[in-house]
A and B are shown apart, each in its own frame.
Chain A
């Protein structure tokens, strides 16, 4: 938010001149300051990872295997430039990154980024499905709960959701396997195939269960808050029926607030994807992360971190920007 304020202050003189290019481009200024933040984020993440991963162990030992002779080790160090001082390695590494060259996987020799990109669609598939499921369940349920929060049956449902919020996603995943795959034998417990929708249901469903309770509660709280506003009382006094109150007056305000959270929820979802993919042996980037971290495959870990940072950033930027266009209040306030 503070970034958009900076931008607003920065171009307030521009907007005074009426229809200049600056005015037309004004909605994009927050994006520019966000791009600067992305640059900082990528720099921070790659630098931190570079030094952390070098702390972890000698890449040459990983490459050469356990029974390598000192001569072989030296040859490998020279080949990969590992014999140079760390700081020189760092700068040449960052130089390569600027050209989007992430090096080759130590395990398979393929380009690291290529390896990540082949795994990415599988993750995007369940992440997208999970997001869709979450929105389809959390928004209607939350609106229903928040519309008349004091009704006995809704308080009961709210209580159940409060408890569900305390169930970690990976526990839900295990229970779903227990019920649907082991006991009922309706769905496969692991593996994936793009053509068999059966294999998508459990991973996407359990990933959605990471988000549904918290998002439902946020929507319910927002709707309940909107229902207490003066304009709702005025509308009710003027004889508007319940559905008009909800759909026309309360929901637009409440949902925009909740939907603005989607960016943060997505970052959370990527964390959940690591666990879900491990549980279901789903060949996505989360599974690849665990695999390559454990084998100290540095280039792949770096490429993964880079990829995830850009992914989360894009989702944030797109939601932020689209809400700036949808919600007039953000437009006037934020620039």
Chain B
């Protein structure tokens, strides 16, 4: 069998060569490396966290209450009931990620669809959608979420549905702004003249053109939803009592601020780490797409 000659002058693999030519290499900087590392670490912990727990997050040990960080086999200390904070933080990560991810997907679907429909052409659909968006924008979403969650009850599903159906406005605004200009482009007009179905134009021609911006919004919005979810849990109306979420852990820590400050610092650090990671990811994608990331408020 004839030996295959490397077709590159210095014997570099094709993959490496492609990487060097790619946009990724030109844009690879410290921020993206940090963002990627943090993101994949957190994703790994969220998926496989169950196997890394050192003890049952719900099982307390009244002989080991308020153990400081790093002592007696408690990596991040223990709480007022002697439960392992490291295991509880991992459970909280899973809960928050699942919550934010599901709600974000609902937001993405609703917001993008409405944005595309509104951007397509002037008419009653655009008028109504814009009026609804204005209404959603001029009322504090967190307050609506509080009222709705209290009414429909605690738990994962009510929380996800509330956030999912309330916080889609940012997706609609970005889609609307970008799709409006895409609808003026020649390739879309050509498709329309060729008689392509309007929904096919919408999702097959216009939507791919705004993919990058939607990724950016998705990442920033993910961070916003993490905060909203923990805020609701912290107020005692999101996650049911006893479920180890970051918001619940923060609420529990309040009585022991003097005795056990790590009960506050551990979940607080987890929230900040997760939110900063998603902000960095959003910023990184925005940098790659050479676009300025929108400022997201929850």
Contact = CB atoms under 8 A, between A and B. Distances in A.
Interface of A: 2, 37, 40-41, 44-45, 49, 52-53, 55-56, 162-163, 165-168, 170-171, 174-175, 177-178, 182, 214, 217-218, 221, 264-265, 267-268, 270-272, 274-275, 278, 289-290, 293-294, 301, 305, 308-309, 312-313, 316
A166 B279 contact: yes
Nearest to B145: A271
Contacts of B139: 41, 45, 267, 305, 308-309, 312
Contact of B295 (A163, A217, A270): A217
B134 interface: yes
Q: Nearest 5 CB-CB pairs, A to B?
A: A271-B142, A166-B276, A166-B275, A271-B140, A56-B151
A270 B143 contact: yes
Given A166-B272, A174-B268, A275-B234, A267 B292 contact: no
B277 to A, nearest CB: 8
A49 B264 CA distance: 35
Contacts of B134: 37, 41
Nearest to B142: A271
A308 B142 CA distance: 12
| Secondary structure of the A contact surface, majority rule | helix
A274 B228 CA distance: 12
Given A264-B137, A264-B297, A166 B264 contact: no
Given A267-B138, A289-B147, A293-B147, 19 more contacts: A41-B135, A52-B151, A56-B151, A56-B152, A162-B276, A178-B257, A178-B261, A218-B295, A221-B292, A265-B297, A268-B297, A270-B140, A271-B141, A271-B142, A272-B142, A289-B146, A294-B150, A308-B140, A308-B143
B227 interface: yes
Interface residues of B, number: 43
B131 interface: yes
A40 B148 CA distance: 20
B231 A267 contact: no
B124 interface: no
Contact of A178 (B230, B264, B297): B264
B29 to A, nearest CB: 12
Interface string B260-289: 010010001001100110011001000000
Contacts of A275: 142, 231, 234-235
Nearest to B279: A166
The CB with the most chain A CB atoms within 10 A, among B130, B143, B223, is that of B143
Nearest to A171: B268
Contacts of B141: 271
B268 A214 contact: no
A2 B177 CA distance: 12
